[in-house]
Amino acid sequence: MLAVESATDASEVKHTGSPGVEETRGKKRKISLQSCEACGTEEAKYRCPACLKHSCSLFCVKKHKSESGCTGARDKTAFAPISKFDEMNMLSDYRFLEDTARVADSVSRDFGHLPHHRSQKVRIMKRAAYKFSMELKFLPNGFTKRRENSTFFQKGLQQFFWHVKLLFPQSSSEYTERRVPDNRTLKEILTPYIHPTESEPVKRQKLKMYVHATFENVCVFMKVENRRSNSLRYHELSLLETLQDNLRNKTIIEYPVLHVVLSDHAQNYVLEQGKMPYIHFSLF
């Protein structure tokens, strides 16, 4: 809450006849106050930064929050028209920008000071990805996707073992596969989920729309990274190719996220070149 009892104007300075001597007069101005909007009896002493309602005491502040659901936190991004833009708004914007810069600097520092074993692991994976014609990017520490990523590169085998997220939008389901060898085809990865006989019973029941559709009527997409949210584009992947071949010439942030889509809904996934996805027939 902001105290609004009184404010002191800038001191007035009056020169006397003697050189170097000044007379200073401080002048106080009482701000007009309203009555407390919580109890309605006492004179208000505080103003809520969030909704600007007045209150007189801590008890009334808590009462106001509990009754109205107000957080008491100032909205740093609230719109202020130019006609009402004053010094307080300017100070608020300045502090907001400072906070943003502080957070960005903190994140960059965290990323630049990774533990040695982790930073070495990241460098090894980035170099290996580059060799396989992939661009592999990592998020700063603290991001959920960074924390849950279990991908690693086996130098002896010269092989990635990927953390893969599978999204089945027509069944509102999501699964995670860990340590998936990059030489497995997408069909092999999806078999435990949507194969009519070889899938796990619980998953088969959950994903029965996909099981009934069979592989011939399933498409797999991966989002094109580094695009604006209002201009999403997708790569269409091949069920017959390996994970490594499917990821070639693509950007991956942390790990692949695959959208497994029924062909009836494939038109909702616009490809990078602007073409609509085609439907595969008789793949197997």
Radius of gyration of the CA atoms of the chain, in A: 31
Q: Is the domain of 106 the same as that of 172?
A: no
Residue 4 lies in a domain: no
Beta bridge partners of 135: 251
pLDDT digits (tens, 9 = 90+) for 247-271: 999 999 999 999 999 999 999 999 9
Average pLDDT over residues 168-178: 95
Q: Is the domain of 188 the same as that of 252?
A: yes
Q: Are 255 and 194 in contact (CB under 8 A)?
A: no
User: Structural domain of residue 205, as residue ranges?
Assistant: 116-268
Q: Is the domain of 133 the same as that of 61?
A: no
Q: Final residue of a domain: which of 75, 105, 136?
A: 75
Q: Are 182 and 157 in contact (CB under 8 A)?
A: no
Residue 15 lies in a domain: no
Q: Is the pLDDT of residue 5 over 50?
A: no
Q: Is the pLDDT of residue 29 over 60?
A: no
In the chain, % of residues over pLDDT 90: 51
Residue 39 lies in a domain: yes
**Alpha helices, H only, the chain:** 58-68, 87-112, 116-131, 144-148, 186-194, 201-206, 208-213, 243-247
Q: Is the domain of 95 the same as that of 218?
A: no
Structure tokens of 161? 């073992």
Confidence band (pLDDT; 50, 70, 90) for 71?
Answer: confident
Separation of alpha carbons 126 and 133, rounded Å: 11
Q: Is the domain of 108 the same as that of 87?
A: yes
pLDDT of the residue at 32 = 45
Residue 2 lies in a domain: no
Give the pairing type, strands 257-262 and 159-168.
parallel
Residue 11 lies in a domain: no
Q: Is the domain of 120 the same as that of 169?
A: yes
Q: Is the domain of 98 the same as that of 154?
A: no
Q: How many helical (H) and strand (E) elements, i.e. helices and strands, does the chain have? A: 8, 15
Q: Is the domain of 241 the same as that of 147?
A: yes
Q: Is the domain of 66 the same as that of 42?
A: yes
pLDDT of the residue at 119 = 80
Residue 49 lies in a domain: yes
Give the pairing type, strands 257-262 and 218-223.
antiparallel
Domain count, the chain: 3
Which bin fits 274, alpha (ψ -120 to 50), beta or left (φ > 0)?
Answer: left
pLDDT digits (tens, 9 = 90+) for 92-110: 888 888 888 887 766 666 5
pLDDT of the residue at 207 = 95
Total-model pTM:
0.58
Q: Is the pLDDT of residue 210 over 60?
A: yes
* Mean pLDDT across the chain: 82
Separation of alpha carbons 227 and 212, rounded Å: 34
CATH code of the domain containing 209: 3.10.20.90
